[in-house]
A and B are shown apart, each in its own frame.
Chain A
Amino acid sequence: MKDLTKAEETLLLTILRLKDNAYGVAIKHHIQKTTGKALPYGTLYFILEQLSKKGYVKRFVGESKPERGGRSRIHYTITPEGNLALKRAYEMQQKIWNGYAELTWGEKISK
Chain B
Amino acid sequence: MERIRRADLGRKDQQMKRTESPKCAERILSILYSSKKTGILGDTEEEYRMILSERGRFRADLWYAWQIFQPLPFLIRSTFFWSFEMFKNYLISFFRILKRQRLYAFINIAGLAVGLACCILISLWIKFEVSYDRFHENSDDLYQVTSEVLLPNGDLRFFTNTPGALANALKMERPEIRNISRLVDRVEILLGTADKRFLERVRFVEPAFLEMFSFEFIKGNPKTALSQPDSIILTEKTAEKYFAEKDAIGQEIRFGSDRNLLVTGVIKEIPENSFLSSLCLVPFEILRDMGWNIDRWGGGNFDTYVHLEKDVDLEFFNAQIRDFYKKYASNWEQSKLSLRPITRIHLHELSGGGPIVYVYIFSGLTVFILLLAMVNFMNLSTARSVQRSKEIGVRKIVGANRRQLTKQILMESILVTLFSGSLAVVISYFLLPVLNQLTGVQISFSFNEKMILFLTGIVILTGILSGIYPAFILSSLNPVQAVKGRISPGKNSLLLRKGLIAFQFSLSIFMIIAMIGVNKQLKYLTTKDLGYNRDNIVSIGLAEEISRKFTIVQTELMRNPEILSMTRSSSRMDKEYTTTGEDAITWEGQSIGKQMPRTHLMKVDPEFKETLNIDMVDGRFFSHEFPHDRTESVVINETALKIMDLKSPIGKRMTVWNRNFRIIGIIKDFHFYSLHEEIQPLILINRYASFRTIFIKINSQNLLRTVNFIQRKLKEIAPGYIPDLKFLDENLHGVYIAEQRMEKLTKYFTFLAIFISCIGLLGLVSFSAKQRTKEIAIRKVLGASEGNIALQLFKETLICVAAANIVVYPVVYLALHGWLRNYAYHTTLGIGIFIFASSLALALAFLSVGWNVLKASLANPVDSLRYE
Using a CB–CB distance below 8 Å, which chain A residues touch chain B?
Answer: 23-25, 28, 40-42, 45, 49, 61, 64-74
Contacts and interface: CB of A to CB of B under 8 A. Distances in A.
B71 A73 contact: no
A93 to B, nearest CB: 29
Contacts of A73: 42
A62 B816 CA distance: 73
A28 B42 CA distance: 13
Interface stretch (B32-40, B192-200, B413-421, B580-588): B32-40
A24 B39 contact: yes
Given A41-B67, A42-B33, A42-B70, A68 B40 contact: no
Contacts of A28: 43, 47
Given A45-B33, A45-B39, A49-B36, A68 B67 contact: no
30 contacts: A24-B40, A24-B42, A24-B46, A25-B43, A25-B46, A25-B47, A40-B70, A41-B33, A41-B40, A42-B40, A45-B33, A45-B40, A61-B38, A64-B5, A65-B46, A66-B9, A66-B13, A67-B46, A68-B42, A68-B45, A69-B6, A69-B21, A69-B45, A70-B2, A70-B5, A70-B6, A70-B10, A71-B38, A71-B45, A72-B42
B42 A71 contact: yes
B49 interface: yes
Contacts of B50: 25
Max chain B CB contacts within 10 Å: which of A24, A45, A61, A70? A70
Interface in B5-35: 5-6, 9-10, 12-13, 20-21, 26, 32-33
Dominant secondary structure at the B interface: helix
Given A24-B42, A66-B12, A72-B42, 15 more contacts: A24-B39, A25-B43, A28-B43, A41-B67, A42-B70, A45-B39, A66-B13, A68-B43, A69-B6, A69-B10, A69-B26, A70-B5, A70-B9, A71-B38, A71-B41
Given A24-B40, A40-B71, A68 B5 contact: no
B36 A45 contact: yes
B44 interface: yes
Contacts of B49: 67
Interface string B72-83: 001000000000
A28 B67 CA distance: 13
A69 B42 contact: yes
Contacts, number: 72
Contacts of A68: 42-43, 45-46
Interface in B429-469: none
Interface of B: 2, 5-6, 9-10, 12-13, 20-21, 26, 32-33, 36, 38-47, 49-50, 67, 70-71, 74
B5 A41 contact: no
Contacts of B9: 66, 69-70
A23 B43 contact: yes
A103 to B, nearest CB: 38
A40 B46 CA distance: 15
A84 B39 CA distance: 26
Contacts of B47: 25, 28
A49 B13 CA distance: 33
A23 B32 CA distance: 20
A69 B43 contact: no
A50 B664 CA distance: 107
Nearest to B49: A67
A84 to B, nearest CB: 26
Given A24-B39, A69-B21, A74-B39, A41 B44 contact: yes
A17 to B, nearest CB: 18
B317 to A, nearest CB: 54
Most buried by B among A23, A28, A71: A71
Contacts of B12: 66
Given A40-B71, A42-B70, A45-B40, A69 B20 contact: yes
A66 B33 CA distance: 22
B5 A42 contact: no
A40 B40 CA distance: 10
A4 B43 CA distance: 25
A41 B67 CA distance: 8
A12 to B, nearest CB: 17
A25 B45 CA distance: 10
B17 to A, nearest CB: 14
A64 B2 contact: yes
Nearest to B5: A70
A74 B762 CA distance: 66
A72 B41 CA distance: 10
A66 B36 CA distance: 20
A15 B26 CA distance: 27
Q: Across chains A and B, which 8 residue pairs bring their CB atoms closest together, nearest first?
A: A24-B43, A71-B42, A70-B6, A68-B42, A74-B39, A69-B45, A42-B71, A45-B36
Nearest to B6: A70
Nearest to A73: B42
Contacts of A41: 33, 40, 43-44, 67
A74 B44 contact: no
A49 B9 CA distance: 30
A74 B2 CA distance: 15
B236 to A, nearest CB: 68
A73 B26 CA distance: 17
B42 A74 contact: yes
A110 to B, nearest CB: 30
A65 B47 CA distance: 13
A49 B42 CA distance: 17
A68 B71 CA distance: 21
Contacts of A66: 9, 12-13
A42 B66 CA distance: 12
B2 to A, nearest CB: 7
B24 to A, nearest CB: 14
Q: Which of A49, A67, A72 has the most CB of B within 10 A?
A: A67
Contacts of A65: 42, 46
Contacts of B38: 61, 71-72, 74
- The interface centre, meaning the residue of A23, A24, A72 with most chain B CB atoms within 10 A of its CB, is A24
Contacts of B46: 24-25, 65, 67-68
Contacts of B39: 23-24, 45, 74
A8 B760 CA distance: 60
Nearest to A75: B39
A40 B342 CA distance: 66
A67 B5 CA distance: 13
Contact of A67 (B2, B36, B45): B45
Contacts of B26: 69
A73 B40 CA distance: 9
A64 B42 CA distance: 9
B649 to A, nearest CB: 97
A24 B45 CA distance: 11
B15 to A, nearest CB: 13
B186 to A, nearest CB: 75
A5 to B, nearest CB: 18
Contacts of A45: 33, 36, 39-40
B18 to A, nearest CB: 12
A43 to B, nearest CB: 9
A50 B799 CA distance: 60
A59 B826 CA distance: 81
Nearest to A42: B71
A69 to B, nearest CB: 4
A72 B668 CA distance: 95
Contacts of B5: 64, 70
A65 B67 CA distance: 21
Contacts of B67: 40-41
A31 to B, nearest CB: 13
